[in-house]
Each structure stands twice: as structure tokens, then as C-alpha cells.
Structure 1
Amino acid sequence: MRVVVIGATGHVGTYLVPRLVAAGHEVVALSRGTREPYRPHEAWARVQRVQVDRDAEEAAGSFGGRIADLGADVVVDMVCFTPEQAAQLVEALRGRVGHLLHAGTIWTHGRAAAAPLREEDPREPFGDYGVGKVACEDLLLAESRRGGVPTTVIHPGHISGPGWRVINPLGNTDPRVWAALAAGEELAVPDGGHQLMHHVHADDVAQVFQRALEHRSTAVGESFFAVSDRGWTVRGLAREVASWFGQEARLRDVTWEEFRSGYTARLGGDEGAEHAGASWEHLVRNHSASVEKGRRLLGYEPRWTSPQVLREALVWLSSHGEVDLGGRVLPCA
């Protein structure tokens, strides 16, 4: 098939594009052209690269037509965040494309009411990102179910892998968290540290997209979680990371108010507030999602567990100077 990938050089596209090329698909990779994929691969030499400024073209009303004119059998949209963006795209693709795959987010569910989450569970999103993505999903799946553009929505968890600062066991991207666990230093954890997070390797997310694309008959009109085999708590991940360095995790329970004030005192107002705020955003949702639907309908099988993907990411962060482990070397598992 001819597959157009919008946002092709991002976290997931970095892995999806080589997967599609290896499977024999013709790939057109769209991006802003500001950087290369996170991981080099020879498959990119066999890909048509197209530079596009989505914001500018959407403002001009030409983006949807630009995508439709590429003559794709399948369009994969990694970077749609508002229902207005989704509407412009489906209006142009209606009757001209066989399958649209949309990157959603596990955050559409807001605060978890059950564990593990299932795709059909009630959603109570909050925050601009989660609310906007729910509106996208509702518009796209309604379009699909009434016979318009056939659509599938994929909901990743916390996308992780080598090449960027991933969400750490405290739910933020502060590199000092990794260093403290490696050194056996005390780490303040908010509200007991029993909150769940659900990480996933970017290549496992790419696997779900590929399987949905190649199992169109069961994927159209559906949404699927793209996560590891199970979610982990703050305390569980912290203990796992510390054990890689022969340490016991020293975790001190604090209130959220103490957690925020402690970060502010250590790092200053803006940086401290940013990391504490990110922890709250990730932990208050308390997410662990089921992959049963993806297994049953698509044959999805996660390759990486949450600790495995974090370990691979930490090796990269350390080797590229993003995290100071005090001379400690962490080999890949």
C-alpha cells in the first residue's frame, strides 16, 4: 500500500516508517523538516520525504487537500491535536483514502476509575491536551461509523525509548531522579507513591499502528491502547531502577504540597514548578491500561516491559550526557 505518515520523524514515526518499508509498503514521510528521526535506519533512503508546515497550511485551508493529493491508500496522522485539525483532514480525505490512523493518547480517560483501563470505559478528560484529543477521537470515529473516512485511533501510554528525556519513576523528566536512585539517595515521593503509570516503547506503539493498518477489517471504527504488558507504580519503578545499581530505593512519603515546595526550594521557581507539575499531571491520572483488545483483534504483543524500556532509555541518556550517574555504567539488559 501507499502510506502517508504525517509527523514521520517523531518518536513513533522513527520506528513506524522502517517497519512499513520492511513490510513492502510505499511510504511518503511528511514532517516540518527540522530534524532527522531519533534513530538512523537504511530504510529512510527508500522513503519519499516531504517537508510541510502544517500550521501554516491549515491556516490557509490547504493542508487537507495537500494530503489527499498525495494519493495514499492509508494516512497515518501522528500530530493532530484539535477537532478543527481533524475536521479539515477528513473533509479532504472523504472518498479518497481507504484508512486513516490517528494517534490519540491514554490521557483521554482522565482520572482512572478502574484498572486496567479498557477502551470502552467512561472517559473524564481534563486539561487542554486530553480534552482536545477526546474531541478528535469522537469526531473521527463518528465519521468512520457513519460510512465516511474509515478510521482507527491508537492511544499510546508514556512513549519511551532512546533519544529523548522519557518520563521517569516520579512522572517527570528531571534527570536528577535517575541520579538519586543510582546513588541510593533519598527520594521524596508524593502521596504514597502508589500511583500507576503505563510506559510503552515507541517501537511497540509503531507495532500497533502497523498491525491496525494491516488488519483493516477489524481495526476500522475502533480504538486501541498501545502500552506495555502492565502498568507500574511510582514505588515499583523506583525500586526497579535502584536495583540496577545494586541499591535499595530510599523513598520518603510526602504530601503533594511538600513535594511541590521541595522541588521549588531545590531548583527555583520555574524549573521546580515545571517538574512538580509534570509529576502531578502524570500521577493523578493513575493509569494502567489493558492490551487485551489489541491482542485479540490485531495480534499485538508488547516486546518491552515498562522497566525494560526505561532501562534502554537510561542507557542512552547516560551515554549522551543527559543524566549524570556519577561514573556508574548501566549496560543494556
Structure 2
Amino acid sequence: MKVFVTGASGHVGSALVPELLGAGHQVVGLARSDTSAAKLEAQGVTVQRGDLDDLDGLRKGAAEADAVIHLAFKHEEMYAGDYQGASEADLAVVHAFLDELSGTGKALVGTGGTLSYSGLGRTATEEERIPSEGPRGAARNAILDATGLRGSVVVLPPTVHSELDTAGFIPILVRTARATGISGYPGDGTNRWSAGHTRDAARLYRLAAEKAPAGSVLHAVGEEAITMREIAEVIGRKLGVPVESIPAERGQEHFGPLAFMVSRDAPTSAERTKALLGWEPTGPGLLEDLESGFYFEQG
């Protein structure tokens, strides 16, 4: 297949591109900078210059491909505090892809996050339906409900981890602990995040593009539940700083851009994903990756 990938030079994209090429697919990658374009070209990827605001260019990329994998998101805007704006931009991209692909039977693989399941009070499964009121939920549900194409959504845990992860939540937590001298966790630290390895996630995106049935929700989860206190304890020990509870009233001050999500509780299962696509996580766990040290060697 010819696969058009947004976010091809990013964290998960850096694992997805060789995964797709290794399976015999042709890859066209969206690149907004010369650096990203050069990185992709060096791997044998056909580069399409543009960004998430270039909706006509995105439609063109989708029209010329057999499948679309949409990984990119305006993370800079999200970390700057404009999550709403970044999400609205993502919804516009999804609608552009749906307009172009409707009636073609082609695959469109979108991206969601397991933190959208927070507040359930139980382990989330692939049967969960999240509200469409917000733009992120609307984008996810638009893909799942689309007809005339094979739409699926890969739902990523907040901690997709590996040595390729240089700008995600774990690097931010490490930098925060360095800057403040405290490895913090919210409240009593018993809230749980799911986790998954980057290369396992990349393999799931490939399988989704190749064979996921229309309307599939796919969880890229290798570990269902790791407490925030466990994460903070490893970070504190590796950096040699105290591990402390951060009360809610100090959350924004300490955690910065992660404050609105760091206290969420969202354990998530991937059992149905494994059964549906024959996907089985093989990468190391989050705490094992933290113990290995590469997160603490980053600048």
C-alpha cells in the first residue's frame, strides 16, 4: 500500500516509518520543516511539504494514497495552554480526510488518548464511547462512525515510552523534577495511567492500516495501570531528589502544562485489540525503561 502519514518524523512516527517500510509499504510523510523532510528522505520516504493548517494539501495526500495514518497534533499549542485550539485544528484535519476518503473504501487511522477514559472508576475497554461535545471526542467519533471507508482509531496511553520519546509526558516530568528539586505526584499518588512502548504502538498502527475493520477502537496499551507515585519514585531515585505529594492547589505551579491531566485516573485494557488483530506488546515496561536511564541522559 501507499500510506500517507502525518507526524511521520515525530516520536511514534519515527518507529512507524521503518515498520511500514519493513512490511513492504510505500510511505509518503508530511513534513513542515527542512529538518523533518531530510530525516524522512534519508529513510526512503516520499516527502510532502505542508502542515496541519494546509487542508488542501492534506486532502491531496489522502487522495493519492491507499491509506492514511494521522499521528500529528499541535503539541506546541497544547503545552502552551491552548488545548482547545489544538483540538479544534485536529478536528478540521479529520473532517478534511473524511471528505476526501468517503466512498473510497480506503483506510483512515486516527489517534486518541486513554486519558479520555478518566473518571470511569474501572478499567476501560475498547467498547467505551466518549462524548462528542469536545473537538477531540468529535474527531474520534467521526472516524469511527464514517461510512464508505475503513476508519479506526488507535488510542495511545499518556506514556508511550522508549528512547525515541524526547518530548512526551515522561521527559516533562523528569525536567520538572530537575527544575524544582522534587519528584512530585498528585495527591496520594494512587491514580493510574496506562503505558505502552513506542515500537508496539507503531506495529499496531500498521496492523490497523492493513486490516482493522471499520469502526475499530484499538488500545496501544502494554501495561494497564501504573500509579503516578510509582513513576515519581523511580524519577526521584534516579535524580537523587525527594519524592513528595503535590496538593491540588499547587498542581499548576509544580506540573505546569501537565497539571490538567496528571491527576487523572485511567487504567485501560487492550485485550480486545490483541484478539482482533493478533497484536501482542513485546517492548519493555515503563518502569523498566525509566530504570534503564536514557530518560535521564536527555538534555
> Which of the five TM-score ranges fits, normalised by the shorter chain?
0.7 to 0.9
Kindly indicate whether residue 97 of structure 2 is the aligned counterpart of residue 114 of structure 1.
no
CA gap of 1:24–1:122, structure 2 versus 1, over 3 A, is closer
Over the aligned positions, Cα root-mean-square deviation in angstroms equals 3.1
After TM superposition, give the deviation of residue 211 of structure 1 in Å.
1.8
Q: In structure 2, give the amino acid aligned to 1:54.
A: L
Partner of 2:79: none
Kindly indicate whether residue 130 of structure 2 is the aligned counterpart of residue 123 of structure 1.
yes
Are 1:74 and 1:97, in contact at CA under 8 Å, matched by a contact in 2?
Answer: no
Kindly indicate whether residue 7 of structure 2 is the aligned counterpart of residue 4 of structure 1.
no
Counterparts of residues 184-203 of structure 1 (less than 5 Å): 187-203=183-199
Partner of 1:285: 264
Partner of 2:203: 207
Counterparts of residues 40-55 of structure 1 (less than 5 Å): 44-55=42-53
In 2, the alpha carbon distance for the partners of 1:306 and 1:16 equals 19
In 2, the alpha carbon distance for the partners of 1:187 and 1:9 equals 30
CA gap of 1:92–1:305, structure 2 versus 1, over 3 A, is same
Kindly indicate whether residue 251 of structure 2 is the aligned counterpart of residue 251 of structure 1.
no
Q: Quick check: which has more Rg, 1 or 2?
A: 1
Correspondent of 1:166 among 147, 165, 168: 168
Partner of 1:152: 152
Q: In structure 2, give the amino acid aligned to 1:211.
A: L
Partner of 1:76: 69
Partner of 1:331: none
In 2, the alpha carbon distance for the partners of 1:190 and 1:53 equals 35
Q: Secondary structure at the match of 1:107?
A: helix
Q: Deviation digits for residues 258-280 of structure 1, max 9, x if unmatched?
A: x34xxxxxxxxxxx73x534343
Q: TM-score of the superposition, structure 1-length normalised? A: 0.73
Are 2:162 and 2:197, in contact at CA under 8 Å, matched by a contact in 1?
Answer: yes
Aligned pair count?
281
Q: In structure 1, give the amino acid aligned to 2:221.
A: V
Are 2:59 and 2:100, in contact at CA under 8 Å, matched by a contact in 1?
Answer: yes
Percent identity between the two aligned chains: 23
Correspondent of 2:224 among 215, 221, 230: 230
CA gap of 1:199–1:35, structure 2 versus 1, over 3 A, is farther
CA gap of 1:11–1:168, structure 2 versus 1, over 3 A, is closer
Q: Secondary structure at the match of 1:36?
A: helix
In 2, the alpha carbon distance for the partners of 1:75 and 1:186 equals 42
Q: Secondary structure at the match of 2:260?
A: helix
CA gap of 1:102–1:289, structure 2 versus 1, over 3 A, is same
Q: Deviation digits for residues 165-184 of structure 1, max 9, x if unmatched?
A: 43239xx535152688xxxx
In 2, the alpha carbon distance for the partners of 1:17 and 1:188 equals 35
Partner of 1:264: none
CA gap of 1:120–1:63, structure 2 versus 1, over 3 A, is same
In 1, the alpha carbon distance for the partners of 2:189 and 2:105 equals 46
CA gap of 1:208–1:237, structure 2 versus 1, over 3 A, is same
Q: Secondary structure at the match of 2:11?
A: coil
Counterparts of residues 132-147 of structure 1 (less than 5 Å): 132-143=135-146, 147=147
Are 1:186 and 1:251, in contact at CA under 8 Å, matched by a contact in 2?
Answer: yes
After TM superposition, give the deviation of residue 102 of structure 1 in Å.
0.9
Are 2:183 and 2:236, in contact at CA under 8 Å, matched by a contact in 1?
Answer: no
Q: TM-score of the superposition, structure 2-length normalised? A: 0.80
After TM superposition, give the deviation of residue 202 of structure 1 in Å.
2.2
In 2, the alpha carbon distance for the partners of 1:187 and 1:231 equals 19
CA gap of 1:153–1:176, structure 2 versus 1, over 3 A, is closer
